[in-house]
Amino acid sequence: MRLVSKYSLLFLLGTSTWVPILIINYRFWLLTDQHNSLIIYPPYLSETLRSVYYAVFFITNYFLVDQIVRRIEKWDVIDLLWKLLVIGISGISVIFLFDIIEKNFVGNVLHAPIKALSESVNLYAVTIFSLSTLFIFRKLILYQKNKRKVISWQLLQLIFALGLARLFIASEGDFSNNIVPATVSKGSLLFAEIYNTVLLPLFFILSLFLSANVNWSAYLNFKQKLKSLFLILIIIVLFIAFQLNFPFDALPNTEDTFELMRERYVLLGLLFLFPLIYTLFSGLVLIFNLPTSSVFEQRSSELATIQHINQSIQANLDPEEILRTLLDASLLTSNATGGWIETFSKNGPLTNVNIPYFKNVTIEEIERLREREDLSQTVVSRGKHIYFRNLRKQKSFRYTKTRIRSLLVMPILTSKAPIGVVYLINELAGSFEEETIVSLVSMCEQSGVSIENAELVAQSIGLEIYHEQLRVAKTFQKQILPQALPSTDKIEFFVKSQEVDEIGGDFYDVTQLGHTYKIAIGDVSGKGTTAAFYMAETKGIFQALTQLDVGVRDFILTANKALAKCLRRGSFMTLTYLHVDMEMREVELFRAGHCQTLYYNAAKDKLISMENGGPGLGIVRNDSFANHIGQPDKISFSTGDLIVLFTDGIIEAKNLEREEFSFERLEQIVFRLRNTDSRLIAETLVQQVKAFTGGTIDDDYSILVIKFLDV
């Protein structure tokens, strides 16, 4: 709303300041038509006030046009010139129209008002066109502005402002016979002389300097330059038309442009001169730039294509697609008539070459060149391209029967290893320009970076997938293993386990069926998610069989049959399985390829290693498995006895000297802690192993301690 009010006010002022101009002209032409040789103005149209009216008219419209042009936010040369052309054609049309009307009223009583209206309207049209040209050209001049341009323009505006002041001030040349009235001060005369002798020459210098700023022309294509030149030529014609139809009679007591610039009404001459100079300069620059436009556009198009291709290559994560795009792009942006890409085998010698992509060239032609010289190894070892301007002049290829004359060979390298080599050919000698070669080499370098990035992204995605699988497997493993073990006042269970980053296959479980506890601890071969899923299968088998009245040996036989069908070839599971009959006070235990079990007999104060058993589950996958296992061990327990079950992560833990913790150290610690509770035994064992290894245990482990309390 505020903007509308401001522009409305300026427009109202601009038109209202034109009214005194109309009155001055009406008075002048009324007396002229009456053939009065002496023009006498009333007091409100005195010489001083007439100068003020003209000054206010110019100042108001100066700011009005300035604000209107500033509202044009879009910077478009063609659009700006079109706007100026419309203003000029509209203005000159108004001038011609009023000129025709005025001529039809010569000798008529209405001639004076129509002549006054015609001259005043013409003055307004010239002023608006001149100011529009000035401020539209300002937008062109200050394109890519710098401090020097801005200061020069501000100085030019200052001269315009002083030109307005010059409307109030007379110089000796303004008076007949150089007789200066006493009312004119010496200061006014001095200012007028300084303006005429110093500021006007400075104005011409600034006009020439600012007119040389035609930077915008470099950013136009050939078609846009032609349009701009056409519009500028029409604008020049409009300038000539305005000059020929300049309303001198609207400024009484002036006869021509030179007098106009020399005497009181100097401002309008300045407004005409600078835009005309800039228009001429712009037209000349466009004319001289036309022949080079096609070359510039072609190069710009090539650069845009190369940039687009580079972006496509960067965005691609498929190495094969990157190479395919590279070959197509190389052929598109160069004079090559054909080409191919040779790639090297990963982790193999550079002599192992594949030719996955080729265009407009046969394998026979390629092999014929390779027989003469292996250029791929040469460019890779040098790390830079090779360009043969004429292949026939090269010693290696002088007698080769080939149509190829120009040959460009460029390596595709990464920071780790070479990927391949690009070959471009042409049947004419010297077909590849230096600028094109630089662009092609840049594309090859970018392709190498993109291929390396693609491999890194693939590795990163693979690693991310692996970690996600690991996370799921760990969560799965935690759900498989029991969260709490049963304990009563007669028997105590405590387990201590650890998972490492790479999931292992440790498994343990305890189930109570009546007065019997069925306990299992084992280790599935392998690591990662596979081991976790095998644990899940083992858990299912354990839970199913423990609900049945199956003895220890039959459990082992049945579990082996089930796991033989679940585990893939080469995978197996070690397991220790036991029944603890609290009513009979008897333990029945079988070890299927698992670590020994430690049993402490409190009555005898003796630690026993239970080592009997058979092969792991899933190793023998037929009925002969029964022939490889014996009968389970049976022991009777009493109060204070304990059983220690563990996996190989404990006894195989190594220190910095690569020495294993060993079963013997485990026995010593258990015997030393034989009279403590199950928790202390398990936690102390883990602490001792960590102290031995230097603080960490690299493998997963499980320790299950069973303590018989009051039996």
State yes or no: pLDDT of 257 exceeds 50.
Answer: no
In the numeric block, the tokens 């466009």 are attached to 286
CA separation, residue 479 to residues 58, 443, 490, 509, 711 (Å): 90, 53, 28, 12, 32
Average pLDDT of span 637-665: 92
221 and 354 assigned to the same domain = no
d(CA 366, CA 404) in angstroms, rounded, equals: 10
CA pseudo-torsion sign 28, 31, 35, 36: negative
Q: What would the pLDDT profile of 525-580 be if each residue is shown by its tens digit?
A: 877 677 777 888 888 888 889 888 899 999 999 999 998 888 888 889 999 999 99
User: Would the pLDDT of 249 be above 70?
Assistant: no
The two tokens of residue 35 are 């053939």
What's the CA gap between 492 and 639, in Å, rounded?
11
pLDDT at 262: 46
Tell me if 132 is assigned to some domain.
yes
Rounded-to-integer distance, Cα 528 and Cα 648, Å: 17
Residue 457 scores a pLDDT above 70: yes
On whether residue 100 sits in a domain, the answer given is yes
Same domain for 364 and 286, yes or no, is no
Measured CA to CA, the distance from residue 562 to residue 453 in angstroms comes to 46
- Cα–Cα distances in angstroms (integers) from residue 191 to residues 162, 174, 181, 183, 199, in the given order: 10, 14, 16, 15, 10
Query: What is the DSSP secondary-structure string of 391-441?
Result: GGGSGGGTT---S--EEEEEEEE-SSSEEEEEEEEESSTT-S-HHHHHHHH
Domain boundaries, position 262: 2-294
Q: Are residues 509 and 622 in the same domain?
A: yes
Query: What is the C-alpha separation between 102 and 488, in angstroms, rounded?
Result: 125
| DSSP letters for 681-698 | HHHHHHHHHHHHHTS--S
pTM flag (> 0.85): no
* Residue 340 domain flag: yes
pLDDT digits (tens, 9 = 90+) for 393-435: 888 887 778 889 999 999 999 888 898 999 999 999 888 888 8
Q: What is the pLDDT of residue 255?
A: 42
| 169's tokens | 């001030």
Specify if 301 maps to a domain.
no
Nearest to 532 by CA among 569, 570, 485, 479: 479
User: What's the pLDDT score for residue 63?
Assistant: 84
Last residue of a domain, which of 294, 313, 348?
A: 294
End position of a domain, from candidates 394, 424, 458: 458
Average pLDDT over residues 650-659: 90
Both 116 and 235 in one domain: the answer is: yes
By three-state DSSP, how is residue 268 classified? helix
Q: How far apart are CA 126 and CA 133, in angstroms?
A: 11
CA–chain centroid gap for 370, Å, is 41
Do residue 704 and residue 601 come from a single domain?
yes
Q: How many domains does the chain have?
A: 3
Q: In the numeric block, which tokens belong to residue 563?
A: 């796991």
Buried b (16+ CB within 10 A) or exposed e, 246-278: bbbbbbbebeeeeebbbbbbbbbbbbbbbbbbb
CA Rg value for the chain = 51
DSSP conformation letters of 171-227: -GGGSGGG---TTS-HHHHHHHHHIIIIIHHHHHHHHHHHHT--GGGGG--HHHHHH
Report whether 372 contacts 400 (CB < 8 A). yes
Instruction: Please state the rounded mean pLDDT for residues 478-499.
Output: 84
Within a domain: 304: no
Residue 200 confidence (pLDDT): 75
Cα separation, 440 vs 331, in Å, equals 10
Give the domain CATH number at 385.
3.30.450.40
DSSP structure string for 80-95: HHHHHHHHHHHHHHHH
pLDDT at 226: 87
- Checking if the pLDDT of 688 tops 90, the result is yes
590: domain CATH number is: 3.60.40.10
% of the chain residues with pLDDT over 70: 83
Please report where in the chains the tokens 């030719």 appear, as a residue.
Answer: 355
| 282 and 349 part of one domain | no
The neighbouring-strand residues paired with 408 are: 387, 424
- Confidence bin at 185 (pLDDT 50/70/90): low
Asked if residue 350 and residue 271 are part of one domain, the reply reads: no
Same-domain check for residues 290 and 369: no
CA-nearest of 61, 183, 180, 75 to 126 is 61
Give CA–CA dist 358/125, Å, rounded. Answer: 69
On whether both 412 and 348 belong to a single domain, the answer is yes
Neighbouring residues of 159: CB distance < 8 A, sequence distance ≥ 6: 199, 202, 203, 206, 270
CB-based burial, 416-447: b 16+ in 10 Å, e otherwise: eebbbbbbbbbeeeebbeeebbebbbebbebb
Q: Specify the DSSP class assigned to residue 640.
A: T
pLDDT band at 313 (very low <50, low <70, confident <90, very high): low
Structure tokens at 275: 């835009």
pLDDT in tens, 25-81: 888 777 776 666 566 677 777 767 777 787 788 888 888 888 888 888 777 888 889
Residue 560, domain member (yes or no):
yes
- Within 13 A of 113's CA, how many CA atoms are on the CB side? 3
Query: Looking at residue 641, what is its pLDDT?
Result: 95
Domain match, 158 and 278 both: yes
Q: Are 575 and 559 in contact (CB under 8 A)?
A: yes
Give the contacts of 594 (CB within 8 A, at least 6 positions apart): 521, 522, 523, 574, 575, 576, 613, 616, 647
Q: Which residue has the tokens 């001169």?
A: 273
When pLDDT is cut at 50, 70 and 90, the band that residue 436 belongs to is confident
Are residues 275 and 266 in contact, defined by beta-carbon separation less than 8 angstroms? no
Q: What is the pLDDT of residues 588-635, one digit of tens each?
A: 999 999 999 999 999 999 999 998 889 999 899 888 898 989 899 999
pLDDT over 50 (residue 260): no
Please check whether residue 305 lies inside any domain of the structure: no
Residue 1 is predicted with a pLDDT of 44
Q: Could you tell me how far CA 334 lies from the centroid of its own chain?
A: 27
Phi-psi region of 695 (alpha: psi -120 to 50; beta: other; left: phi over 0): left
Asked whether residue 260 falls in the same domain as residue 354, the answer is no
Residues 453, 499 share a domain: no
**Does residue 313 lie in a domain region?**
no
Per-residue confidence at 308, pLDDT binned at 50, 70, 90?
A: low
What is the average pLDDT value for the chain, to the nearest integer? 82
